[in-house]
Amino acid sequence: MANQEDIFKKVISHAKEYGYIFQSSEIYDGLSAVYDYGQNGIELKNNIREYWWRAMVQLNDNIVGIDAAIFMHPTTWKASGHVDAFNDPLIDNKDSKKRYRADVLVEDHVAKIEAKIDKEVAKAAKRFGDAFNRQEFLSTNTRVLGYRQKADGILKRLGKSLEKEDLADVKALIEELGIACPLSGSKNWTDVKQFNLMFGTKLGSTAESAMDLYLRPETAQGIFVNFLNVQKTGRMKIPFGIAQTGKAFRNEIVARQFIFRMREFEQMEMQYFIKPGTQKEWYEAWKEKRMKWHLSLGMGEDNYRFHDHEKLAHYADAAADIEFKFPFGFKELEGIHSRTDFDLANHEKYSSKKLQYFDPEENKSYVPYVLETSIGLDRMFLAVFSNALQEEQLANNTTRTVLKLPAVLAPNKAAVLPLVKKDGLPKIAQKMVDDLKWHFNVAYDEKDAVGRRYRRQDAVGTPFCITVDHQTLEDETVTVRHRDSMQQERVAIAEVKGVIEKAVAIKEWLKGV
Ligand code: GAP
């Protein structure tokens, strides 16, 4: 596969071809930045959600889950700051009439500078071979350092101007960098304006009695308004956490890059309630803990990096992203935010209800501080899926398309294939499916030559193919083929479940977290 754009196109078409992701209401030509998950997509998505939930809720004694409603009292969003401050800075190109997020235009410009760094690294790695030390090269090569300094300088200035709401400077930056409209090449820009991202709707049957509501733009507020309910009924002691997964909605302006930025998406969020003054240590601890969770999936250490925020959201006193190397470059996958007492204190103010915790050790009540971890489920899906999709050159000069999903997340853990459709082999294969399906998802496939069936399962990401052949009739063994290595081994039918279970058990994957 040639360049990043081609790889990304291939990711999108593969996701459709193999029943992972479809455009929403495709028969009506789709709806921009809204997607549906197909028969395999929903399985992968559920598995990612479960992998997160188990690591968060089941493995931490002091974290519990909730499921709050999407609709919330409208004052919630006044208190949370979203009505006043949940804005994107927009800029229009006067010639193409296209609207862009001003910060994204600048970030895309920076990404081009960073791509130059990647190019230098690739060139040097080729030149020095085994002796190449990436870290040393990055910290000493003058050309790379120049690019780095330039990129950092731009991001710093952008962060500062956004923080000060100095939109005139954001426009000035775009002009100074010579950024042109990606569509028309024109540099004829309007001023930068703020635009609120929340979707509004109405509750009530008559126009007079209807109440203006918002579709929640983050799941976090459902946790904050339930903080005391959970603390009291669960007799929780600080520090403790509340986790939630669920849909969130944002009227994104730059809705592109497939499921990376959607208008309807799902978040997996955890709010950790802590003693004021301890936020720095919990911030560091959760950064490390979350990175370990990502690394446990084995998708390559080099594909992750932290990015500390210059521009802080309206609620945070420190924030970092875990960025992942998507086919279009390093981008935010998860946010870790030190939210102080911003949310709870504001909900106290707007609701006139006390949202305090009595700390028996301190013998006093206080509004807890909050450390948040927030990851987009769809974005995690894209990270996993795009990283897994590979085109491999095989020894016999052919290629295969293989989706090397972490086995723990794969939609089907195994496919059972009778070698031929006769001699009683389908019956044995069906019986195996009937036994195995109580433990994990298993597919059955008897159509086409076995080699083609292997390729089909490779492309859909099934970690194991189990072939029932004539030898099975004699000794009750089957061939187990491993997706990634394509190695085959002979295994007794009675032992197949154990082999697969060991490879796909969440416990095995999460052990080190
Ligand atoms: N409660 C904090 C919060 O919502 P955020 O950084 O705005 O913080 C958290 O969002 C995560 O949600 C992001 O890191 C990203 O993974 C995901 N996310 C945000 N907007 C998204 C969108 N439009 N489409 C898909 N995922 C999105």
- Give the ligand 1 atom nearest the CA of 220: 1
Q: Which amino acid is at 6?
A: D
Distance (angstroms) between ligand 1 centre and the Cα of 478 equals 46
DSSP conformation letters of 49-103: HHHHHIIIIIS-TTEEE----SB--THHHHHTTHHHH-EEEEEEBTTT--EEEHH
Q: Among 199, 218, 321, name the best residue to mutate to test ligand 1's pocket (greatest count of ligand atoms within 8 A of Cβ).
A: 218
Does the Cβ of 343 fall within 6 Å of ligand 1? no
When pLDDT is averaged across residues 161-181 and rounded to a whole number, the result is 94
DSSP conformation letters of 448-483: S-HHHHHHHHHHHT-SEEEEE-HHHHHHSEEEEEET
Query: From CA 8, how far away is CA 256, in angstroms rounded?
Result: 12
- Give the ligand 1 atom nearest the CA of 332: 14
Of 328, 321, 453, the C-alpha closest to 383 is 328
Kind and range of the H or E run holding 233: helix 227-233
Q: Give CA angle at 319 (156, 322), nearest 5°.
A: 95
Does the Cβ of 332 fall within 6 Å of ligand 1? yes
Query: From CA 26, how far away is CA 268, in angstroms rounded?
Result: 27
Does the Cβ of 266 fall within 6 Å of ligand 1? no
Does the Cβ of 222 fall within 6 Å of ligand 1? no
pLDDT value at 254 more than 80:
no
The per-residue pLDDT for 396 is 87
Distance (angstroms) between ligand 1 centre and the Cα of 266 equals 8
pLDDT digits (tens, 9 = 90+) for 81-91: 999 989 999 99
Distance (angstroms) between ligand 1 centre and the Cα of 386 equals 19
Does the Cβ of 481 fall within 6 Å of ligand 1? no
Residue 430: CB atoms within 10 Å: 15
Residue nearest to ligand 1 atom 22, measured at CA? 261
SS3 45: helix
Distance (angstroms) between ligand 1 centre and the Cα of 376 equals 5
pLDDT digits (tens, 9 = 90+) for 113-143: 999 999 999 999 999 999 999 989 999 999 9
pLDDT digits (tens, 9 = 90+) for 292-344: 999 999 999 999 999 998 777 778 889 999 999 999 999 999 999 999 999 99
- Give the ligand 1 atom nearest the CA of 255: 23
Distance (angstroms) between ligand 1 centre and the Cα of 124 equals 36
Q: Which residues of 192-223 are buried (b: 16+ CB within 10 A; e: fewer)?
A: beeebebeeeeeeeeeeeeeebbbbbbbbbbb
Does the Cβ of 220 fall within 6 Å of ligand 1? yes
Residue nearest to ligand 1 atom 18, measured at CA? 376
pLDDT digits (tens, 9 = 90+) for 189-227: 999 999 999 999 999 888 777 888 999 999 999 999 999
Does the Cβ of 264 fall within 6 Å of ligand 1? no
Q: Are strands 477-482 and 464-468 parallel, antiparallel or unpaired?
A: antiparallel
pLDDT digits (tens, 9 = 90+) for 101-114: 999 999 999 999 99
Tracing tokens 């000069």 back to the chain, one arrives at 397
Whether 373 and 388 have beta carbons less than 8 Å apart is answered as: no
The per-residue pLDDT for 2 is 52
Query: From CA 262, how far away is CA 245, in angstroms rounded?
Result: 16
The per-residue pLDDT for 35 is 97
Assigned token pair, 22: 């479809």
Give the contacts of 82 (CB within 8 A, at least 6 positions apart): 198, 214, 217, 218
DSSP conformation letters of 382-412: HHHHHHHEEEEE-TTS-EEEEE---TTT-S-
Distance of CA 141 to the CA centre of its chain: 33
Distance (angstroms) between ligand 1 centre and the Cα of 312 equals 14
Reported residue count of the chain is: 513
Whether 326 and 11 have beta carbons less than 8 Å apart is answered as: no
Assigned token pair, 348: 């106290």
Whether 493 and 478 have beta carbons less than 8 Å apart is answered as: yes
Of 303, 337, 388, the C-alpha closest to 48 is 388
When pLDDT is averaged across residues 367-376 and rounded to a whole number, the result is 98
Residue nearest to ligand 1 atom 14, measured at CA? 334
Whether 172 and 91 have beta carbons less than 8 Å apart is answered as: no
Q: Average pLDDT over the chain, rounded to whole?
A: 95
Residue nearest to ligand 1 atom 9, measured at CA? 374
Q: Is the peptide bond before 239 cis (omega within 30 degrees of 0)?
A: yes
Of 388, 380, 390, the C-alpha closest to 335 is 380
Does the Cβ of 33 fall within 6 Å of ligand 1? no
SS (H, E, C) 268-290: EEEEEEECCCCHHHHHHHHHHHH
Query: From CA 289, how far away is CA 381, in angstroms rounded?
Result: 20
Where does residue 326 rank: exposed (0-12), middle (13-18), buried (19+ CB within 10 A)?
Answer: buried
Assigned token pair, 280: 């720095």
Does the Cβ of 250 fall within 6 Å of ligand 1? yes
The per-residue pLDDT for 206 is 80
Whether 219 and 68 have beta carbons less than 8 Å apart is answered as: yes
Give the contacts of 380 (CB within 8 A, at least 6 positions apart): 48, 52, 268, 333, 334
SS3 3: coil
- DSSP-assigned letter for residue 189: B
pLDDT digits (tens, 9 = 90+) for 457-497: 999 999 999 999 999 999 999 999 999 999 999 999 999 99
33/204: higher pLDDT:
33
The per-residue pLDDT for 178 is 97
Q: Among 219, 374, 381, name the best residue to mutate to test ligand 1's pocket (greatest count of ligand atoms within 8 A of Cβ).
A: 374
Of 506, 473, 471, 508, the C-alpha closest to 490 is 471
The per-residue pLDDT for 47 is 98
Taking the model in full, what pTM does it have? 0.88
Does the Cβ of 265 fall within 6 Å of ligand 1? yes
Whether 384 and 6 have beta carbons less than 8 Å apart is answered as: no
- Give the ligand 1 atom nearest the CA of 218: 4
Max intra-chain CA distance, the chain = 80
Query: From CA 443, how far away is CA 41, in angstroms rounded?
Result: 15
Select 394-510's CATH number: 3.40.30.10, 3.40.50.800, 3.40.50.2300, 3.30.70.100.
3.40.50.800
The per-residue pLDDT for 255 is 67
Give the contacts of 251 (CB within 8 A, at least 6 positions apart): 196, 197, 198, 199, 263
* Backbone phi, psi, residue 332, to 5°: -60, 130
Does the Cβ of 261 fall within 6 Å of ligand 1? yes
Does the Cβ of 267 fall within 6 Å of ligand 1? yes
pLDDT value at 68 more than 80:
yes
Q: Among 45, 264, 267, name the best residue to mutate to test ligand 1's pocket (greatest count of ligand atoms within 8 A of Cβ).
A: 267
Residue nearest to ligand 1 atom 27, measured at CA? 376
pLDDT value at 34 more than 50:
yes
pLDDT value at 1 more than 60:
no
Residue 62: CB atoms within 10 Å: 13
Query: From CA 303, how far away is CA 314, in angstroms rounded?
Result: 29
Domain boundary assignment for the chain: 394-510
